[in-house]
């Protein structure tokens, strides 16, 4: 099958390569001319035979919106656009309506597999009408891992990215649980082989997973993670998962806590913890640490002089 691929970064470039290895003809476009087959979206469209299929793998938000807008002007009735980035499912619904006005079909496809996808295949979660998804099945079959699993036509437009959003929310919770377990083991005086403990769980336990394999791989490279700073970014999908939970009145305490933990990781000096320290000093007289790093006496420290507040009238 012939397909256009817009965005040839780590994911898009490897996906294009996997499709080529599977016998498909891929015309790729990227702003980096060193990896691009064509110099513009117009040239990409001109190189494809009608009815065309163009897969978009650019960052969510404005980059995707601008790309969809331009493709809407360049493509013809009967052509298809696939958004394989990490777009918000609400944006998918808007993009589908915008393209429908030009007679252009739209499929959203959540893609998971990261840098290992070229070798192992990509898990694909698609949303859109049945005819459009079936038309793209040769591409999906090549991109997905071998075997029964790895692909789902999840539902209407937006369903693919909604499923991928929930997938990433679950991933947040799983990573946070592994991370907290690692921190506790590292803090223990009696566990001498933390890396070995995690590795022992990879076979025969209920918490074995690919994430656990990757955790052990990370410890192989840096056993105590001394070379890393405790800062974790979020792609936006964790936030969308929590917001969707609010919209649907579904409690997500684990995923929400994992998202907030990432926010906390970005604070070198947490404002909230400053207030916690100040309040502990006020009601309990606990010692506090100044911004300069020195420890100041609390009310329960020898020599401290703290006058109790007046009772409320």
Active site residue 297: no
Complete DSSP assignment for the chain: -EEEEE--SHHHHHHHHHHHHTT-EEEEE-SSTTT-SSSSHHHHHHHSPSSPEEEE-S-TTHHHHHHHHHHHHHS-TT-EEEE-S---HHHHHHHHHHHHTTT-EEEEEEEE-GGGHHHH--EEEEES-HHHHHHTHHHHHHHSPSSS-SEEEEESTTHHHHHHHHHHHHHHHHHHHHHHHHHHHHH-SS---HHHHHHHTTSSSTT--HHHHHHHHHHHHSTT-TTS-S-----SHHHHHHHHHHHTT---HHHHHHHHHHHHHT-SS-HHHHHHHHHHHHHH---EE-TTSPEEP-TTSTT---PPPPPP-
**Residues 6 or more apart whose Cβ sits within 8 Å of residue 278:** 288
Q: Select which of 164, 229, 274, 297 is catalytic.
A: 164
Q: What gap in Å lies between CA 292 and CA 276, rounded to an integer?
A: 18
Rounded to whole angstroms, how far apart are CA atoms 294 and 282?
18
The residues carrying an active-site annotation are: 164
């Amino acid at each position: 099958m012939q397909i256009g691929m817009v965005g040839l970064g780590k994911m898009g470039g490897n996906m294009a390569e996997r499709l080529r290895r599977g016998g498909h003809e891929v015309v790729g476009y990227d702003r980096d001319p060193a990896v691009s087959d064509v110099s513009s979206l117009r040239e990409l469209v001109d190189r494809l035979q009608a009815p065309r299929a163009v897969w978009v793998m650019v960052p969510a938000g404005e980059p995707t919106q601008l790309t969809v807008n331009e493709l809407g002007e360049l493509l013809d009735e009967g052509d298809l656009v696939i958004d394989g980035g990490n777009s918000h499912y609400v944006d998918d619904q808007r993009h589908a309506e915008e393209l429908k006005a030009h007679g252009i079909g739209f499929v959203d496809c959540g893609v998971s597999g990261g840098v290992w996808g070229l070798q192992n295949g990509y898990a694909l979660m698609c949303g859109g009408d049945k005819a459009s998804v079936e038309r793209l099945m040769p591409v999906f079959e090549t991109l997905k891992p071998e075997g029964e699993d790895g692909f789902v036509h999840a539902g209407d437009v937006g369903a693919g990215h909604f499923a991928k959003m929930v997938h990433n929310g679950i991933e947040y919770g799983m990573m946070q649980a592994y991370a907290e377990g690692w921190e506790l083991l590292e803090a223990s005086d009696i566990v001498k082989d933390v890396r070995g403990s995690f590795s022992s769980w990879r076979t025969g336990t209920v918490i074995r997973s690919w994430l656990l394999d990757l955790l052990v791989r990370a410890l192989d490279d840096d056993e105590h993670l001394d070379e890393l700073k405790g800062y974790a970014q979020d792609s936006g999908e964790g936030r969308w998962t929590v917001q969707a939970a609010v919209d649907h009145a579904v409690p997500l305490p684990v995923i929400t806590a994992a998202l907030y933990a990432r926010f906390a990781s970005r604070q070198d000096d947490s404002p909230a913890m400053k207030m916690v320290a100040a309040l502990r000093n006020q009601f309990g007289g606990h010692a506090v640490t100044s911004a300069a790093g020195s420890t100041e006496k609390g009310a329960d420290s020898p020599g401290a002089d703290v006058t109790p507040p007046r009772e409320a009238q």
